[in-house]
Amino acid sequence: MGFDLDAPGWQRNRGLRIVGAGHQLELPWPELGSFPNYGMVRTRMDLDEILARHAEKAGARLMERTSVTGPLLDEATGRVIGVRAKSVDDRGRRLEGTEDVEFRAPIVVACDGVSARLAIALGLERRENRPMGVAVRAYYETPRHDDEWMESWLELWDGPAGRSNLLPGYGWIFGVGDGTANVGLGILNTSKAFQTVDYKDILRRWLANTPEEWGFRDENMVGQVRSAALPMGFNRKPHYTRGMLLVGDSGGMVNPFNGEGIDYALEAGEMAAHTALQALARPDGPGRERVFEGYPAALDAAYGGYFTLARVFAKMIGNPTFMKQATKYGLPRENLMRFMLKLMANLTDPRDGDMSDRIINGLSKVAPRA
């Protein structure tokens, strides 16, 4: 995508360190033909800026301080023919004295996040039988900022491990390399605590129990604690309807295994771009429409079965008893955890992979589409 990964601002890591049940296990990223054997961390603000400027260089026209308010529909057919938008200030509020403007286009790609404003306007409601999550995170100044391992905590205690209260959710510590770390936790709606807890309070209670020298205290926080909903497992479909494609959170493209959504949004964006180019090269009519309808089919083929497996997993880990036993007996078994890393991170080679790759890919193929 044109990224210079050797430029300042990128923090490289070797793999995942898993902490839980009195164990600590370091799992390097697997050696694959389709992915590098390292990971990269960047703040979301930086990443979005790089993507936006890269798109501009490729010919995109970027409208800043502009917020889309809804789809523009053809009165005769109900087809999406553009969007309405408003000018806003730094807080997203309409600029005084301004009115909505219209942007017309032969195809609209809805990338408006978990709000899914455009999809909802077309009547595409959230599927209640798909998992939802909430993530809360903050940046802290810390000597652990250049840790070469991303860290995942399977148990969150508000005191000494095993002798205090076990908090709901699963935590992470990602060194950013700029003097700070991204620290946060996620909770699934399969947990009984999902709608009844103060997520920011849970974050502080967990971090208050971490070593003082790590620096995960309010006085070292950079910015504010932020939270967001995680729409998972294709919780809004179809991903194409009436001249509009859904990409990313607007179409529920978050992996229920791990809460990861950025990569699926980027990959879906690539699919949407190829679909649009192929469709618009054809005359307006049934032929063009058939190309557009290939987009949701391609998404289902790529992720549908895998997301179904992930939905089953999300339901299982919402059971505290299952999670306790899985952590206790699973973490000491390194080969099992290497398999689980590949499964949960969706890191397999589609062809010529090892036995674990073939098992995961096979399960994904035979599972019903999400």
pLDDT by residue (tens digit) across 52-91? 999 999 999 999 999 999 999 999 999 999 999 999 998 8
Quick one: pLDDT at residue 107?
Answer: 97
Determine whether domain 106-126+233-310 maps to CATH 1.20.1250.20: no
SS3 278: helix
251: left (phi over 0), alpha (psi -120 to 50) or beta: alpha
Between 344 and 160, the higher pLDDT residue: 344
Q: How many CB atoms lie within 10 A of CB 227?
A: 15
DSSP label at residue 97? T
160-209 pLDDT, tens digit each: 887 888 787 899 999 999 999 999 999 998 888 788 888 899 999 999 99
Which of 71-80, 90-99, 118-127, 295-304 is predicted with the least confidence, judged by mean pLDDT?
90-99
Q: Which of the four pLDDT bands, split at 50, 70 and 90, describes residue 316?
A: confident
Quick one: pLDDT at residue 319?
Answer: 77
Quick one: pLDDT at residue 315?
Answer: 87
Pair 310, 318: CB distance under 8 Å: no
Rounded to an integer, the average pLDDT of 136-147 is 97
Quick one: pLDDT at residue 135?
Answer: 94
Mean pLDDT estimate for the chain:
93
pLDDT at residue 318 tops 80: no
Rounded to an integer, the average pLDDT of 332-343 is 92
pLDDT at residue 261 tops 90: yes
Determine whether domain 11-44+132-229 maps to CATH 3.40.50.2300: no
β-pair type (149-153, 15-20): parallel
Q: Which of the four pLDDT bands, split at 50, 70 and 90, describes residue 234?
A: very high
Angle of helix 320-330 relative to helix 305-317, nearest 10 degrees? 100
Domain range list for the chain: 11-44+132-229, 106-126+233-310
Quick one: pLDDT at residue 326?
Answer: 85
Quick one: pLDDT at residue 43?
Answer: 92
Residues contacting 318, CB < 8 A, separation 6+: 188, 189, 190, 191, 192
Instruction: Check for a shared fold between 11-44+132-229 and 106-126+233-310.
Output: no
Torsion angle defined by CA atoms of residues 272, 274, 275 and 281, in that order, rounded to the nearest 10 degrees: 140
Distance CA 306, CA 67 (A): 34
User: Could you give the angle at the alpha carbon of 298 between the alpha carbons of 295 and 301, nearest 5°?
Assistant: 155
pLDDT at residue 290 tops 90: yes
Which of 157-166, 233-242, 283-292, 361-370 is predicted with the least confidence, judged by mean pLDDT?
157-166
Q: How far is CA 18 from CA 173, 285, 297, in A?
A: 10, 53, 35
**Cα–Cα nearest to 145, from 207, 47, 215:** 215
Between 253 and 193, the higher pLDDT residue: 253
Residues contacting 117, CB < 8 A, separation 6+: 68, 69, 70
